[in-house]
Amino acid sequence: MSLKRYALVTGAGKGLGREIALRLAGKAAGVAVHYLKDKGAAGETTRLIRKKGKESFALGADLTSEKEAAALIGRVEQKFGRLDILVNNVGPILMKPWLELGASDWDMILRANLQGSFFCMKAALPGMLRQKWGRVINIGYSRAEQLVAFPTITAYAAAKTGLLILTRTAAAAEAGSGVTINMVSPGLLEGGALPSGGKVNPKTLGTFADVGQAVSFLASDEAGAITGANLIVAGTWKM
């Protein structure tokens, strides 16, 4: 990866988003950190990135608003001069039996997981296409490929399955442009949300670092021939 590549990671204040941002900071010249509410956590991520000698700043935005998502991309492009790598990491999960889901629950999960990524992609792609180089990596769900939804995460699974279709549609549309669009789909992660009830074999748990490495690869020059892919990072969980 060229040292003049610049990245944006959404939802990068902590957890998986922070790990991805720090991983990209090892290769890119700068990483913008997006947050919704926790400005302090985002500030800590930027501090850690700057400690690596790279540029970083934090920007808040509600990505379920097309206007705010477009403004976020515009501010990143203005500050860095360009945007090369977009990681759509925002993706809250709600665990609730599907018959107990209210309209507001359903709407919130789909808007945050699917609509926000759609808005960011639409705003970022024109600049990437002009420069004939870009990487979009959407963070998915390891069972989306098999169309599996557990009863307690129906809305989340529906949103991530939709994100997989969006990823592949956009990748096909922009094939040969120099812009690749892929998905990385984690399974159960240490420190992440785990299904309620039952036992989880700790040997099946992945780490934030596992996912960060996969994202870093897809964001590299070496992955230029890979687009429309869904890289499942789930070990043997539910294989």
Q: What is the CATH number of the domain that holds 59?
A: 3.40.50.720
* Predicted confidence (pLDDT) at residue 134 exceeds the cutoff of 80: yes
The pairs formed by 107-112 with CB atoms below 8 angstroms and a separation of 24 or more are: 109/155, 109/156, 109/159, 110/155, 110/158, 110/159, 110/162, 111/64, 112/63, 112/64, 112/159
Distance, first Cα to last Cα, the chain:
33
For the chain, give the percent of residues with pLDDT over 70: 91
Q: Where are the beta strands (DSSP E) in the chain?
A: 6-9, 30-35, 55-60, 85-88, 134-139, 179-186, 230-233
Q: Which residue has the higher pLDDT, 100 or 145?
A: 100
pLDDT of residue 146: 76
Q: How far apart are CA 33 and CA 76, in angstroms?
A: 10
Q: What is the pLDDT of residue 147?
A: 74
Q: What is the pLDDT of residue 135?
A: 98
Please give the sequence-ordered ranges of beta strands (E in DSSP) within 160-211, or none if there are none: 179-186
Residue 17 phi/psi, 5-degree rounding, is: -60, -40
Q: Is residue 239 part of a domain?
A: no
pLDDT(68) > 90: yes
pLDDT band at 9 (very low <50, low <70, confident <90, very high): very high
Confidence grade of residue 129 (pLDDT, cut at 50, 70, 90): very high
In this prediction, residues 141-162 reach a mean pLDDT of 84
Q: Is 34 within the bounds of a domain?
A: yes
Range of the domain at 77: 6-233
Using alpha carbons only, what angle is made at residue 211 by residues 87 and 105, rounded to the nearest 5 degrees?
Answer: 65
Confidence (pLDDT) at 44? 97
Which pLDDT belongs to residue 99?
A: 85
* Residue at 214 is within a domain: yes
pTM of the predicted model over 0.85: yes
Average pLDDT over residues 55-76: 98
In a domain, 208, yes or no: yes
Q: Give the pLDDT confidence score for residue 92 in this predicted structure.
A: 85
Residue 20's pLDDT is what? 98
**The total number of structural domains that make up the chain:** 1
Catalytic residues: 156
Residue 28 included in any domain:
yes
Q: What is the pLDDT of residue 57?
A: 97
pLDDT at 199: 58
pLDDT band at residue 217 using 50, 70 and 90 as cut-offs: very high
Residue 13 lies in a domain: yes
pLDDT for 213: 96
The per-residue pLDDT of the chain, averaged, comes to: 91
Question: How does residue 193 score in pLDDT terms, banded at 50, 70 and 90?
Answer: low
Q: Let me know if residue 68 belongs to a domain.
A: yes
Q: Are 23 and 213 in contact (CB under 8 A)?
A: yes
Is residue 46 in a domain? yes
